[in-house]
Amino acid sequence: DFTHSLYVDQFDWEKHIAAEDRNIDYLKATVKAIYKALYDTEQAVCKKFGIDAYLPEELTFATSDDMIKEHPTATPKERENILCEKHKAVFFIGIGGMKPDGQLRHD
């Protein structure tokens, strides 16, 4: 849809998560496992067809609050673009909702 940048691939899926696993560490471990599968798939396809890979080996995690602190005058879209251009693969934590000043934290 028009609210997402060209850098964003959004996947929807469901996973049962036990109450004791509903935390940031478990979220990050799950995201890393998914990203590794995507990364490994890209590596295999690139090797088979002799094309260059794009994805970095490591995924970067960023919080909305940290992005706002680092780029306070940028719009949510601009902050997203800055981080994606720099790191190539980013998982944003804490998107949605409003900042204390009433502005959108991130779409």
CB 43 within 8 A of CB 53: yes
Higher pLDDT, 32 or 104: 32
Average pLDDT over residues 71-80: 87
Ranges of each domain in the chain: 14-55, 56-107
pTM over 0.85: no
Higher pLDDT, 31 or 64: 31
Whether 3 shows a pLDDT value over 80: the answer reads no
Count Cβ neighbours within 10 Å for each residue of 41-64 and write b for 16 or more, e otherwise: eeeeeeeeeeeeeebeeebebbeb
Q: Which DSSP state fits 98? A: B
The beta strands (E) that lie in the chain are given as: 60-63, 90-93
